[in-house]
Structure 1
Amino acid sequence: MVRKYLRLIIAGILLVGSIVLIVKGSVGLGVWGILLSGLFVLLHFKNEKNLLAFYFVRKNKFEKAAGVLARVKHPEAMIKSQEAYYYYLSGLVEAQSNNSSKAEKHFKKALNTGLRLKTDQAVAKLNLSGIYLSQRNKKLSSYYLKEAKKLDKQKMLSAQIKEIEAMMKRI
């Protein structure tokens, strides 16, 4: 319990110390302390390992992203939104390494934990649709494809959705 909020506790202590420094006359050190406490607050809500894994996924370096995610020992100790993105990233990495059973498990856990962005939910459901299509489960595949279509408001995934629909017609 305390471990989950340790960064916020450290940020609070730094903030109090910074205010004391400003009152005593060390304005420069106080400002640096406030900036440092802000960094701790930011890293509480945006886990640095998830950010690094997102960077590697964006650069198509999935092996490095898997290595970063493997260093997370207890994802359940993260706040819920960061835990969801941990499982989302793990699902993307496993899908790239053709491990569909683990990818399916991670995507479902990410959706159940609560991905914030609708586009991330759409990508997860689209990947689940592709996984079920590769397992020849057309019913579940079409269900997740319809869900992905509903969530894709900006039509960012329209090409991938059309591709999976074409694959469904062949089966």
Structure 2
Amino acid sequence: MSNLIRLIIGFALVGAAVALFIFGHWGWGLLAVFFSICLFVTYFYNENMLIAQWYLRKDNMDKAAVFLGRITNYETQLNRMQHGYFNLLIGLIESRTAPMKSEKYFKAALNLGLHMDHNIALAKLSLAGIAMAKRNKREAQMYLADAKKADKNKLLADQIKQMKDQLGMLDRQTQVRYSHR
């Protein structure tokens, strides 16, 4: 359903709810308000993205990919503020199957804009993991520092610490390898 049609139906339902309240039909009025709120929420947040996020939280990547696949052209189907989140979700799904391919999605998400600090931290932490896999220590350290800075609520503190420990182990392995030569 087009976004303009959603807004028109949403405002029509608000008008109908006001009329129902005036005529004393409180139950139907509340139901109309509920449906208008649902329409307004899906105007700002695409329902396929909301369902995909729910499946990601349940760790069901296949179903999340199905719902994200329903968004054929994100630039026209989503609001501009959702473009970064779409790429973040695709990157999270791709990171399970093809981690190196997910790098472009995380970078696109950061370039298009993520509004919540913990999502920025998640994208940067994922990019740090990819940089570690490529044995690019400097880039991994930069992304980890950025992720730590963006994680103001300490939601990813354990993962950041674990990644730093792994980076230290990688550094020690490199030193051992060069000392035996």
Place the TM-score, normalised by the shorter chain, in its bin: 0.7 to 0.9
Q: Which has the higher contact order (CA 8 A, sep 6+)?
A: 1
Query: How many residue pairs get matched?
Result: 169
Name 1:155's counterpart in structure 2.
154
Instruction: Find the structure with the greater CA-based Rg.
Output: 2
Q: 1:7–1:40: 8 Å Cα contact kept in structure 2?
A: yes
Q: Distance in 2 between matches of 1:16 and 1:32?
A: 13
After TM superposition, the structure 1 = structure 2 runs for residues 30-109 of structure 1, keeping only pairs within 5 Å, are 30-76=29-75, 77-101=77-101, 103-109=102-108
* Larger CA deviation: 30-39 vs 58-67: 30-39
Q: 2:99–2:130: 8 Å Cα contact kept in structure 1?
A: no
Q: Which runs of 5+ in 1 are unaligned?
A: none
Please give the TM-score of this superposition, normalised by the length of structure 2: 0.81
Which one-letter code corresponds to 1:36 in the other structure?
A: F
Please give the TM-score of this superposition, normalised by the length of structure 1: 0.85
Task: Note the C-alpha offset of 1:22.
Answer: 4.8
**Cα deviation 1:123-152 (Å, max 9, x = unaligned):** 110001111111122222211111001112
> Percent of aligned pairs with the same residue?
36
**Cα deviation 1:66-108 (Å, max 9, x = unaligned):** 111111112113113322222111111000113422x111111
Q: 1:4–1:79: 8 Å Cα contact kept in structure 2?
A: no
**RMSD (CA atoms):** 2.2
Task: Note the C-alpha offset of 1:164.
Answer: 1.9
Task: Note the C-alpha offset of 1:157.
Answer: 1.8
Q: 1:80–1:114: 8 Å Cα contact kept in structure 2?
A: no
Q: Distance in 2 between matches of 1:83 and 1:154?
A: 24
